[in-house]
Amino acid sequence: MSEIIAEMRLPTQELRDDIPFYTKVLGMKMDMIYPADDPRVGVFSGHGLRLRIDRDATEAPGTLRILGDDPDSFAGGQRLLHAPNGTRVEIDDRFPPVVMPETVHSFVVRRLKDQAPWVIGRAGMHYRDLVPDRLGGSIIASHIRIPDGGPVPDMVHFRHRVGFQLIFCIHGWVDVVYEDQGDKIRLTAGDCFIQPPEIRHRVLEASDNVQVIEIGVPAEHVTEIDHERQLPTPHLRTEREWQGQRFVYNAAKGALWQPFRLPGFDCRDTTIAANTKGVAGVQVVRPAPDAGDAVWAAHDTDIHFTFVMSGAVTLEGEGRDPYPLEEGDAFVIPPGMKTRLSSPSGDLELLEVSLPGVFQTRLF
């Protein structure tokens, strides 16, 4: 197949004025100019872009964005320029730092039977929002399902700027391959991954109606596609860290159960608090065999999210009507609010996610 070149066309009034701007200020190369006696067209390339500056073009001059790891070292530190041909040029960070919004605390109950329809998102997956107000942009919690099993049309991707990301399987199974973690890993019900920032990964295949809970902090983060990386990678580096976090694969099978922070319940820890250096904690909770009466409690952590994976329980909040909850429901309890979990069914199983991972609980 013959070579194909793509270029963007921009208008100009006088090409001679544009040449020094695009070559000297923006550091691009001039690849072509014509006619020699009265230049009307100049072609410039650089920063992964090819531009055709054309005196006969009639479209708007548009906006050119140039992104770099050190934008202050580019174009004399200017962040906004206007080319002689009218094109607006914005200079910005390629990977802006994570901005953690201040949490807007609220008491949230999201019940499956009250829920709006599922939304089709990335790679054909179905998404259901579990925290609609996002607590002011500090968290996104999604119930995700893939109705039809088989290969998933996914690509190698990563999230460069994310503070915390959890994938917890609640039904079925899914095969995922991760950078430096060996061959594909099968996530089954009760298992979870922690995906540290920048780790490349790809969803390969799933069972019918696989369902996972995905937690991301902050709520908005960009998914980037890596077209060059091949997975699996040849090296196994289980101790590697990405921005201070390790990849975690925690399996439910054979897990150790111990008393939970609330009397009457047991829990199994997923080791996520240890591997994120306290950024977040994830535990699975169930009624203890000798559970007594429910007690009132309040916590002091910034974000406290719970999803009902199976069974039923009643959530009581001080000054609120009781909420009967069942499989598929979720809730967020703000710090300092007194609540209790009463009348748990024998098959109740809860997924609790907290940020930070270590916090205090007061019993009343």
For position 236, what pLDDT does the model report? 93
Looking at the chain, the whole-number percentage of residues with pLDDT higher than 90 is 81
- State the burial class of residue 116 (Cβ atoms within 10 Å of its Cβ: 0-12, 13-18, 19+): exposed
Q: Given a cut of 80, is residue 221 above it in pLDDT?
A: no
Task: Dihedral sign for Cα 129, 174, 352, 246, please.
Answer: negative
Summarize pLDDT for 233-257 with one digit per residue, the tens. 998 999 999 988 899 999 999 899 9
Rg over alpha carbons for the chain, rounded to the nearest Å, is 26
Residues near 228 by beta carbon (within 8 Å), at least 6 away in sequence: none
Residue type, 121: G
Per-residue pLDDT, 2: 79
62-89 confidence digits (pLDDT tens) = 999 999 989 999 999 999 999 999 999 9
Pair 181, 236: CB distance under 8 Å: yes
- H-type alpha helices, 85-179: none
Cβ burial of 77 (10 Å; 0-12, 13-18, 19+) is: exposed
Q: Is 253 exposed, middle or buried (0-12, 13-18, 19+ CB in 10 A)?
A: exposed
Give 270's contacts (C-beta < 8 A, 6+ positions apart): 192, 248, 250, 282, 283, 284
Chain-centroid distance, C-alpha 137: 12
Tally of CB atoms within 10 A around 340:
19
Mean pLDDT of the 140-151 span:
91
Rounded average pLDDT over 300-307: 98
DSSP assignment of 184-215 equals: -EEEETT-EEE--TT--EEEEEE-TTEEEEEE
317-346 average pLDDT score: 96
Q: Let me know: does 175 contact 186? Beta carbons within 8 Å.
A: yes
pLDDT digits (tens, 9 = 90+) for 14-69: 999 999 999 999 999 999 999 988 999 999 999 999 999 999 999 999 999 999 98
| Phi/psi at 19 (5° precision) | -55, -50
pLDDT at 144: 93
Q: What is the pLDDT of residue 245?
A: 87
What pLDDT was estimated at residue 335? Answer: 98
- Mean of the per-residue pLDDT values of the chain: 93
Whole-number pLDDT of residue 1: 62
The C-alpha atoms of residue 176 and residue 310 are separated, in whole angstroms, by 25
The distance in angstroms from the start CA to the end CA of the chain is 74
Do 295 and 340 form a contact (C-beta atoms < 8 A)?
A: yes
What is the reported pLDDT for 102?
A: 92
Q: Which residues pair with 307 in a beta bridge?
A: 330, 351
Tokens of 146: 């893939």
Q: Return the closest-CA partner of residue 191 out of 145, 120, 103, 255.
A: 255
Domains of the chain: 8-92 (3.10.180.10), 115-250 (2.60.120.10), 258-363 (2.60.120.10)
Give the residue-averaged pLDDT of 292-319. 95
Average pLDDT value for residue range 97-101: 79
**Beta pairing class for 88-93 and 63-68:** parallel
pLDDT > 80? residue 160: no
